[in-house]
Amino acid sequence: MLPAVNLRPPFNITRTSHVVLHVADLKKSRDFYVKIVGLVVTEETPTECYLRGLSEACHHSLVLIQTRGEATCKRIGFRVFFEEDLDLAYQYFKDQGLPAEWADVPHQGRTLHVSDPIGTKLELCAQMKTCERMYLKRELFTGAHAQRLDHFQIFAPDCYALCDFYSQLGFRNSEYLAHGDKLLGAFMYRKGTCLDLAIVENVGPKLHHFAYTIPESHNIFTACDLAGNYGYSASVERGPGRHGPGGMLFVYLRDPDGHRVELFGSHYQTIDIEIEPVRWDAASLSTNVRWGLPAAERWYFEATSFEATPTIKPEKMPNPETLETFIQKQIAAKAR
């Protein structure tokens, strides 16, 4: 069912690092992530804003870039352990016939731009400028008190094939979603918790969401209340609820450009090598939530495009139970 994992990969990715987004109104987006999500502004210019969570020491985990074009995702970033891992990664991607080029990125050490087999744009670096952690300066806290960037979820036209690619880079599965022998979702990690990269079969590559941890469950409700107070009530897209996979409390919000951010309570450790992945049956509602209703249709199908990257449709489009189909079934059942 799952591809074999290379436990001695060609280079060492250590964790999810950062995401770079294009936005239509920099001030509006900055305010959303500060006032509602609770990130800290590390540095800003008239065209860029660098933000981080309260417990993050590295310069940024979210970069907002003013654009006059489409509000796309420029890159998702991962850290590698050593500088030489960047050279190994460069050679690996070249040997695979995949794009790889060096880039000059502010506040980061040597940075490598690569793309996976479906065109997902990745940014790898080994070092980043550091700053003071703000997690004890409670007088400065705002929003949901977001702590650190935890993971990404992307869409891919063939979940198994892309899961195989990242498995060769040392990513392991904590949990996975399947229908019979068909792999529909892979929840993969490097840093020893249950997630760094989730892959879900759909039109891709696209960025479904990026996620920040929050310290207390009530911070999720604070984010929802503040979203309402600041005019973003319709942006509370899904939740609060509790996931099946991972078991975390969560809420999903849409920022002013429609980029999706998740806030959630932290999850379990997966460091030990003997831990086996947990299988979830796609036919069960519990794959979505432990309690509550399924998500609206847009949550399953809307996602952020990567900059200048064509998308590919899967052989068969997903057919999840959405809030809309759930309500229709309930109405039909009552009519019988």
Is 24 domain-assigned? yes
Q: Count CA within 13 A, CB hemisphere, residue 172.
A: 21
Tell me the pTM: 0.96
AA letter at 309: T
Q: Reduce the DSSP state of residue 204 to 3 states and report it.
A: strand
Burial class (CB in 10 A: 0-12, 13-18, 19+), 129: middle
At 246, the pLDDT band (50, 70, 90 cuts) reads: confident
Mean per-residue pLDDT over the chain, rounded: 95
AA letter at 291: W
Residue 329's pLDDT is what?
85
With contact defined as beta carbons under 8 Å apart, do 37 and 260 qualify? no
With contact defined as beta carbons under 8 Å apart, do 188 and 121 qualify? no
Model pLDDT for residues 275-313, shown as the tens digit of each residue: 999 999 887 655 566 777 888 999 999 999 999 999 999
Give the CATH number of the domain where residue 238 resides: 3.10.180.10
Round to whole Å and give the CA distance between 39 and 55. Answer: 10
CA 206 centroid distance within chain: 11
Is 127 domain-assigned? yes
**Of 168, 78, 64, whose CA–CA distance to 123 is shortest?**
78
Is 185 domain-assigned? yes
Is 69 domain-assigned? yes
With contact defined as beta carbons under 8 Å apart, do 290 and 284 qualify? no
How many distinct structural domains can be found in the chain?
Answer: 1
Model pLDDT for residues 203-244, shown as the tens digit of each residue: 999 999 999 999 999 999 999 999 999 999 999 999 998 888
At 269, the pLDDT band (50, 70, 90 cuts) reads: very high
Strand partners, 186: 176, 199
What mean pLDDT is predicted for residues 139-157?
Answer: 97
Residue % of the chain over a pLDDT of 70: 98
- For CA atoms 134, 137, 143, 145, the dihedral sign is positive
Residue 294's pLDDT is what?
85
Is 325 domain-assigned? no
CA-angle at 12, arms to 260 and 167, nearest 5°: 65
Is 284 domain-assigned? yes
Q: For residue 205, what are the domain limits? A: 13-305
DSSP state for residue 312 in the 8-state scheme = B
Round to whole Å and give the CA distance between 126 and 124. Answer: 7
